[in-house]
Structure 1
Amino acid sequence: MQSNMPAQAYIDEAWFGRERDLLFKPLWQFIGLKVMLDKNNAFIKRTLFGIPVVVQNFHGELRAFENICPHRQNPIQVQPHGVRPLFCSYHGWSFDSEGGTRIPHEDALFRFAPEERACIRLRRFALEVVGNLVFVNLSADPLPIKRQFGAAMLASLAASSAAFDGEVIMTTYDGRFNWKLAYENLRDEHHPRYLHARTLYQEVRFEASIDECGVEALRRQREQGIGDRERALALLRSFSGGGRDAPMQAAPNERWHSNVERYRDQDWYYNWLVFPNLHIASADGGHSFIVEHHVPVGPGRTEFMVYFVTAKKKRPYSASAAVLHAHMMGADKVLREDIDVMEQIQQTLYEGARPAHLGDYEFVNAGIEHWYLNLMEGSFAL
């Protein structure tokens, strides 16, 4: 089947701006791991589609705010994560859990009128915690998170991420590719046979197949259109899912495995795809996890943030940091194989380039594409 996705969807700045407004601002977005926010004043700072966001722990309660001081627009938290009060180092303004402001020397130096003073507070964003995953919503009227992901998916994410240990290592890649290439790649089970032939495919034999029911559902979707918003949301929920994916070639057997509480007890590759831009996997049967967050920066640039955790420790052990580092280095080989091919694809795209030809096994990607184009064309709004 021929794709209807134009090259402009991957390379055009104006198109990217419409994505921000029509897709990402209305939807719940992953922003970080709860285990990194376990102390009072712990914070994580991210930029989501150009909007600086900080999630801060106030005595056990997490709040999300715009990370801009209302005085001179200085960022309040500067580091990606840490433990520090919500305090602007430029002029000493500080902020409470409601976004309210304490201003040193307010009467002597600022003399704000009462009506202006009442407006001086941080912009707050909606926040939801699902297991160990923290999501924010940039909309003034957020969609209920269950309507985006569905109850079953939220329960699966909560159960799997609850297995995460508190020790985390993370790294960031500056990907020169459009974010949509990442979700298309993740939902393509045929490419590991070739792209990862000497790495991941040696451990997990992914097998692509054609689901005739899925192909028929796609045909009806294309013929009948998306319809109303409720139908669009039902389709959106179908784009996220996960759990057991493919059996491992051999049972996992590392010395450190006895030190952690394994997630389940099956020798499978676990895989959770969270639309639009989050991926969680366990390549060793639930002993450790990788969390990949693809943050769109521009039409041809994606900040690729990757977290590595083991399952919860039964007891502290001296090699835990080395285990995480080895996990990161092993995953780096596979990640760079994916990044390289996505950057190559990005470089070939130009306005007027012919669209792709998809196989029937790619019906999931084709269905997301059809939904996405209807959204971008204004057929429905989230």
Structure 2
Amino acid sequence: MKALIKPNEYFEKSTYENEKTNLFSQVWNFVGFISDFNEVNDFIVSNISGIPVVVQNLKGTIRAFKNVCSHRHSIIQTTQKGNRALMCPYHGWAYNEKGIPFGIPKKPLFNFTTEELECLKLEEYKIEICGSLVFVKIKKDDVSLSDFLGKFYKEIEKMTNSFGQLIDINEIEIEANWKIIVENTLESYHVALIHSETFQKLGAEGLDFTFDKDNSLWDAPVLIKENEGKQSKIYKPYQKRDYKIEGYKHLIIFPNILISSTYGVSFNLSHIIPISEGVTLFKSYVFVTKKEEEDKNEVIEKMFHDSLINFNRKVFDEDKVICQEVQKGVKYSNYDGQLSDEEARVGHFQERYKLYIQY
């Protein structure tokens, strides 16, 4: 079938601006993990649809507000993450858990009434959680996170609740449009050529795809069973885990979150963050599942962790190179592009993308 996203939509600035308004402002956006907000005043900042957003633990509840002071418009939380009161660094205006100014230096000079202070409340956005993942939505509508994730909600909940130790965070800036990178992760057609010494050796293959609403899932067998050969010793400490699968599973949370797992022992979550029409921040998290503490061999565990980190980094470095070559090519292509059955998830992604994008 012909591809639905045209070559120009991978590099034109007008498309990128359109995506902010008609895509990212409409969907649920991943902003972090519950563990990022363990302590009161833990925060993360994000840019959603071009809007600066702060997500913060305020008195034990995770809230999301526009990260702009209502006094003189300064950004409030100025670092990517941290632990700090919700207080503007310019004049010291502090905000309570409802986003209302409550600590104002020289407050009597303003002569605010209670009603006037409430009108200065920071714009608030909806927060919902699935498993260990925290999401924010800019659009004020009745579409819940459960509605958005559809039949995959329970699967995502179970997968991410099984995230144990975080063993790697890998950030790569890629000179390619974010959609090129997402689409690359949604098909295995390129694996034999691009990942011949890495991902191909896992042996994940097949067309066992599941589609629901904006999202899709790939289930694939792998060459070696979990407890075969040398792997049996590596995976022994993880036998009591809650989440078990036979092979490899890869899922997209539309439009830009990819979660994968092998056996339910190791996990990768990739966040594809658009920076501009031609530059993307690829942020990858690698987890191992929770395990019994008494089943611990530090030497084997370190070897296992190192192998996972090296494998994932090598695969993503390989993807970076080819995605950048695609970005160069789309500027000169006279063709719409073609999709095979093996690229059905790319086709589904493009169909759903087109439902949001309006011209």
TM-score by shorter chain over 0.5: yes
Give the structure-2-normalised TM-score: 0.86
| Residue 305 (structure 1) aligned to one of 283, 297, 304 | 283
Partner of 1:146: helix, strand, or coil?
helix
Within-5 A mapping of 1:72-83: 72-83=72-83
- Is the partner of 2:349 in helix, strand or coil? helix
Say whether 1:195 aligns with 2:162: no
Q: How far does the alpha carbon of each residue in 1:323-381 deviate from its partner, in whole angstroms, 9 at most, with x for none?
A: 65653333110011112111110111227632212223323322432343354246xxx
Measured after TM superposition, the shift of residue 193 of structure 1 is 2.0
Is the aligned partner of 1:71 residue 2:71?
Answer: yes
Q: Which residue of 1 aligns with 2:319?
A: 338
Q: 1:294 maps to which residue? A: 272
Alignment of 1:108-187 (within 5 A): 108-112=108-112, 116-150=116-150, 152-165=151-164, 167=166, 169-187=168-186
Deviation at residue 145 of structure 1 after TM alignment:
2.1
Measured after TM superposition, the shift of residue 77 of structure 1 is 2.2
CA distance 1:329–1:90, change in 2 (3 Å):
farther
CA distance in 2, matches of 1:239, 1:198: 32
Whether the aligned pair in 2 keeps the contact of 1:11 and 1:350 (CA below 8 Å) is yes
Q: Which runs of 5+ in 1 are unaligned?
A: 215-234
The offset of 1:200, in angstroms, is: 1.3
Distance 1:190 1:47 in 2: 33
Distance 1:367-1:313 versus aligned 2 partners, 3 A rule: closer
Q: Which residue of 1 aligns with 2:251?
A: 272
Question: How far, CA to CA, are the matches of 2:77 and 2:236 in structure 1?
Answer: 39
Letter in 2 for 1:330: F
Q: Secondary structure at the match of 2:275?
A: strand
1:42–1:57 CA contact under 8 A, matched in 2: yes
Higher alpha-carbon deviation: 249-258 or 18-27: 249-258
Q: Percent identity?
A: 25
Structure 1 position 276, deviation (Å): 0.9
Residue identity opposite 1:133 in structure 2:
L
Q: Tell me whether 337-346 or 178-187 shows the greater mean CA deviation.
A: 178-187
Query: 2:331 matched to which residue of 1?
Result: 350
CA distance in 1 between counterparts of 2:275 and 2:108 reads: 42
Q: Distance in 2 between matches of 1:238 and 1:246?
A: 25
Q: Which residue matches 1:224?
A: none
**Can you list the C-alpha shifts for 1:36-57, whole angstroms capped at 9, x where unaligned?**
2222222222222322222111
What's the secondary structure of 1:247's corresponding residue? coil
* Partner of residue 218, structure 1: none
Are the structure 2 counterparts of residues 78 and 373 from structure 1 closer, same or farther at C-alpha, using a change threshold of 3 Å? same
The corresponding residue for 1:230 is none
What is the alpha-carbon distance in structure 2 between the residues aligned to residue 55 and residue 308 of structure 1? 22
2: distance between equivalents of 1:89 and 1:52? Answer: 16
Give the structure-1-normalised TM-score: 0.82
**1:245 to 2:220 alignment:** yes
Deviation at 1:7, TM superposition (A): 1.7
- In the TM superposition, what is the alpha-carbon distance from 1:176 to its structure 2 partner? 1.4
Does the aligned pair in 1 maintain the 2:11–2:177 contact within 8 Å?
yes
Q: Equivalent residue for 2:98?
A: 98
Tell me how far 1:156 sits from its aligned partner.
Answer: 0.6
Note closer, same or farther for the CA distance 1:266–1:349 as it changes in structure 2 (3 Å cut).
Answer: closer
- The one-character-per-residue Cα deviations of 1:158-200 (angstroms, maximum 9, x if unpaired) are 1111111264642321121111112221221222122111001
- After superposition, where does 1:308-319 map in structure 2 within 5 Å? 308-315=286-293
**Whole-angstrom CA distance in 1 between matches of 2:341 and 2:251:** 22
Alpha-carbon distance in 2 for matches of 1:46, 1:326 = 31
Residues of 1 paired with 2:88 and 2:234: CA distance?
43
Shift of 1:279: 0.7
Q: What is the aligned residue count?
A: 352
Report SS of the residue matched to 1:105: coil
Q: 1:2 Cα shift? A: 2.5
| Distance (Å, rounded) in 2 between the aligned partners of 1:367 and 1:281 | 18
Question: In the alignment, residue 64 of structure 1 is paired with which amino acid?
Answer: A
Does structure 1 retain, via aligned residues, the 8 Å contact 2:221–2:248? yes
Q: By how many angstroms is 1:131 displaced?
A: 0.6
Equivalent of 1:361 in 342, 345, 348: 342
SS in 2 for 1:165: strand
Whole-Å Cα distance in 1 between the matches of residues 191 and 242 of structure 2? 24
How far is the alpha carbon of 1:312 from its aligned partner?
A: 1.7
2:38 pairs with 1:38: yes
Moved more, 139-148 or 22-31: 139-148
